[in-house]
Amino acid sequence: MKRTITTGLLLALVGLAALAWAAGPLATVQARVREVLAVLNDPALQGEDAKPARRDRLRQIAGRMFDFDALARFTLGNNWRKLDRAQQQEFIQLYRQLLERAYLDKILAYTNERIVFEKEIPAAADRAEVQSTVVTATARIPIHYRLLAAGDTWLVYDVVIEGVSLVRNYRSQFNGILATQSPARMLQEMRQKLI
């Protein structure tokens, strides 16, 4: 009897894992946003003392939600090839830290706005866009997530907020820097911003 229950539980877990792996772009984004909201609404994670723990949990979710390698490559575009392998790896890490610093406080300022997931638009066999809207008391803010298939899951490589692409916005900034400076100098400036 005990063996039957254990076998049943294992099969159920395998089935749930298969469902999670088979989740499409819309279900993937919805699941990650639910995780973020759970952190933001967790009574044990409220207050200034819990802010470091909230940030850490949000970073973990971001690690499962975003393809930071693709985000970095797409952001630099053709300039990606100007960086050697070690510089590329450092850029990925520094860029991730800069994004976390820029956006975590905005996420932590969430005050129960409603998030409406509208649709999933396939862009190619391995790409899709999930369209959503954040509804506040005074505005509707469109947020579109662009995703890549990554093995058995989907990962975000760009976010478009009110028509402004994160990738394009940062690409113009980094292109401006790399037009006049070396990749090593760009990385040095990024490191200084994080001090």
DSSP assignment, residue 112? S
DSSP assignment, residue 66? B
Burial of residue 177 (number of CB atoms within 10 Å: 0-12, 13-18, 19+): middle
Q: Supply the DSSP string of 4-53, one letter for each residue.
A: HHHHHHHHHHHHHHHHHHH--HHHHHHHHHHHHHHHHH-GGG-SGGGHHH
Q: What is the pLDDT of residue 172?
A: 94
Q: What is the pLDDT of residue 22?
A: 56
Nearest C-alpha neighbor of 131 from the set 1, 121, 139? 121
Q: What is the pLDDT of residue 15?
A: 39
In the chain, the domains with their CATH numbers are 23-193 (3.10.450.710)
pTM above 0.85, yes or no: no
Q: What is the pLDDT of residue 110?
A: 81
Question: What are the pLDDT tens digits along the chain (195 aa)?
Answer: 434 333 343 333 333 344 444 589 999 999 999 999 999 999 999 999 999 999 999 999 999 999 999 999 999 999 999 999 999 999 999 999 999 988 887 888 888 889 999 999 999 899 999 999 999 989 999 999 999 999 999 999 999 999 999 999 999 999 999 999 999 999 999 999 998
